[in-house]
Chains A and B, each alone.
Chain A
Amino acid sequence: MTSVSLNAATEELEHSCLVASMCLLASLPANMEKVLAREAASLGAVADGLDPVGRTFRAPGGYIQILAENEGRWQRDLPDGVDAADVIDGLDRDGTPLLDLLRSLIRALQPLVARRDGDPTARMSFDQVPDACSADYDQRLLTAFRETLKPLTGYHAALAAGDKEIAQVYIRTARKAFGELSDMTSRLRDALAMDGDVTATEMALCDIGCGLAGRELGAAPGAGLTPTALLLSCYINVLVRTPAVTPPAYLAEVCRAMVTAGQEKVLREVADAYHSQARQQLRAAVDAPSMQRFQVALFGALPYELGALFIASAARDFEPATGRAAWAALAGNAEEWAVRMQSSFVLAAQILQDGRIFEAHRRYFDSIRAAKGEQAAQSKAAEFVEQRIYYPRVTLPLLLSAEPIPTRPPLRIDG
């Protein structure tokens, strides 16, 4: 992961944000789940050949009503004027759409694990699935990371108190901890790469998973894990993104300490640098020459956008009224793009499971072409690329082509 150029005083915050961004996906704002659910409802309808507009879907804990092409509303009770018989049940499951999707992926991977029955590490990883799905998993993960990151909070507190010697001790401790985390992440990634026949999406999920897997990282250095266990670990840890919603408390503490120490401007520079880096990588994703390069760039952008979001959200919540609007504006934009990336991940996971999604999207554009003309179809396809960031721009001719194309088979499970 490349680093943004910042002054040395903020190095440790930068590093912590990169690690924390990856491990705190569970801390996204409360409406994220509903946005994802709405998006999944829309995608599901497209995949089934239905126009989602005007339809109501049963979703976890309520209903999602798709009001227009890009507008939906989640509500707890059946929306007024909607007959219960007209509600589509596609999402009436016990988790969020992403959670359900990933659970089904893990079910699909079961034979793969069974094939490695003699591998205790793989078995152990698979056994962790129910635990990772438990309601307090994200809390426990956060607690573990707060412990890891305590030295950083201590550093800023010491700095604010003017105790530079103690601050230096904290810096050394924090750098050592971050260095170890970083090394382990690299080794895990390398181990997976060595296995061959791994898609870029899986690699990217691995990157996120490795970042998320604080507990696993702490417990088992990468050299001891098999690629299968790693892959499962990725999925397990992507799962923790879906149960809600804990504010990144330790990060707020760090931000507050920085403001107290007179480093508010630096804090803003860090947040802007993250946001800018995310934007750069998002643009690179849209311009990528292939789906695989697109996904890698997209996954690479996420930690930076989340870093900007977390810092801006924390600052917005304790900043005096004068600066609050500017932080809120940054948080709003960062959250918007983080949500879009999340939605794109939902799609990537669906494509992993079912290669016909791309073809379904082509049929969707065909139906728009038939109803509203070529310009409308092109505009909608461009929206899928540039607004929803589902695909790189290079796929536009394919998305809009009437020619049949070979579709990617569903995720192959041997044995």
Chain B
Amino acid sequence: MQDIQRATAAIGRELAWDLTYLSPAEQRRFDPVSIAEGAAAFLMMAYLRGFIDQISGRATKLGERTADFLLDRIGALFRGDPPPTPDELSTVADQARDAARKDQEGTSKALTATEAQIVGYLLSRHMPEDTARAIAAMVRTQTEIEPDHGAVKPG
């Protein structure tokens, strides 16, 4: 649990620099760190779910689903809705771990595809490309799904 919290905090700190790209146009300023960490939690959730969908062959229009999910949930986050809890993230992380263990060969490809979908979402928000890639890479690193043995450390 601590690892999940540490991971969302680390991503949140980085994301905080560019949170305006994710906020609705009319959004107020000076969002607290908790909003950035909440957005980070949704990015992790989208990444883990996207990975599960991808590796289990449910990847039809996956990019759209990932982008829609993030657009909807992060938009709601700015309106005061809660982010996923560490428990919820841990549960999905466990599912991702199981999925990776069952198909180690497909894991690497699925990770790359899922990371690309996170990049796609961030670019759709007009985030600069190098920043979008850096944040998506950080999400991938922090979730620590490893193709060789399918471990998902956070949680």
What is the interface of chain A, defined by CB distance below 8 A to chain B? 35, 39, 69-71, 272, 275, 279, 325-326, 328-330, 332-333, 336, 339-340, 379, 382-383, 386-388
Are A339 and B29 touching (Cβ within 8 A)? yes
Query: Which of B10-18, B48-56, B69-77, B93-101 is found at the contact surface with chain A?
Result: B10-18
Interface SS of chain A: helix
Size bin of chain B's contact surface = 10 to 19
A residues less than 8 Å from B32 (CB atoms): 69-70, 383, 387
Does B59 lie at the interface of the complex (its beta carbon under 8 Å from any beta carbon of A)?
no
Segment 20-75 of B: residues with Cβ below 8 Å from A: 20-21, 25, 28-34, 36
State the Cβ distance, B5 to closest chain A Cβ, in Å: 10
Assembled-state Cα–Cα distance A382/B16 (Å): 12
Are A71 and B28 touching (Cβ within 8 A)? yes
State the Cβ distance, A346 to closest chain B Cβ, in Å: 13
Are A333 and B18 touching (Cβ within 8 A)? yes
Assembled-state Cα–Cα distance A230/B1 (Å): 56
Does B82 lie at the interface of the complex (its beta carbon under 8 Å from any beta carbon of A)?
no
Are A279 and B17 touching (Cβ within 8 A)? yes
Cross-chain contact of B33 among A39, A326, A386 (Cβ < 8 A): A386
State the Cβ distance, A217 to closest chain B Cβ, in Å: 33
Does B127 lie at the interface of the complex (its beta carbon under 8 Å from any beta carbon of A)?
yes
Q: Could you list some 26 contacts between A and B, CB below 8 A?
A: A35-B29, A39-B30, A70-B30, A70-B31, A70-B32, A71-B28, A71-B30, A272-B128, A275-B128, A328-B25, A328-B126, A329-B127, A332-B20, A332-B21, A332-B25, A333-B20, A333-B21, A336-B20, A336-B29, A340-B30, A379-B33, A382-B33, A383-B32, A386-B13, A386-B16, A387-B16
A residues less than 8 Å from B128 (CB atoms): 272, 275, 330
> Nearest A residue to B13 by beta-carbon distance?
A386
Does B133 lie at the interface of the complex (its beta carbon under 8 Å from any beta carbon of A)?
no
Assembled-state Cα–Cα distance A325/B30 (Å): 21
Does B125 lie at the interface of the complex (its beta carbon under 8 Å from any beta carbon of A)?
yes
Assembled-state Cα–Cα distance A71/B79 (Å): 12
Assembled-state Cα–Cα distance A413/B20 (Å): 42
> Nearest B residue to A326 by beta-carbon distance?
B126
> Nearest A residue to B27 by beta-carbon distance?
A332
B residues less than 8 Å from A70 (CB atoms): 30-32
Known A-B contacts A272-B128, A387-B16; A329 and B21 likewise in contact (beta carbons under 8 Å): yes
> Nearest B residue to A340 by beta-carbon distance?
B30
State the Cβ distance, A98 to closest chain B Cβ, in Å: 17
A residues less than 8 Å from B29 (CB atoms): 35, 336, 339
B residues less than 8 Å from A386 (CB atoms): 13, 16, 33
Cross-chain contact of B30 among A272, A332, A382, A388 (Cβ < 8 A): A388
State the Cβ distance, B141 to closest chain A Cβ, in Å: 19
State the Cβ distance, B20 to closest chain A Cβ, in Å: 4
Assembled-state Cα–Cα distance A155/B41 (Å): 50
> Nearest B residue to A327 by beta-carbon distance?
B126
B residues less than 8 Å from A382 (CB atoms): 13, 33
Are A325 and B13 touching (Cβ within 8 A)? no
State the Cβ distance, B85 to closest chain A Cβ, in Å: 16
> Nearest B residue to A67 by beta-carbon distance?
B28
Assembled-state Cα–Cα distance A379/B9 (Å): 10
Segment 105-136 of B: residues with Cβ below 8 Å from A: 125-128
A residues less than 8 Å from B28 (CB atoms): 71
Assembled-state Cα–Cα distance A197/B143 (Å): 51
B residues less than 8 Å from A336 (CB atoms): 20, 29
Assembled-state Cα–Cα distance A71/B78 (Å): 12
Residue among B17, B18, B127 facing the most chain A CB atoms (10 A cut-off): B17
Cross-chain contact of A329 among B20, B30, B31, B36 (Cβ < 8 A): B20
Are A383 and B20 touching (Cβ within 8 A)? no
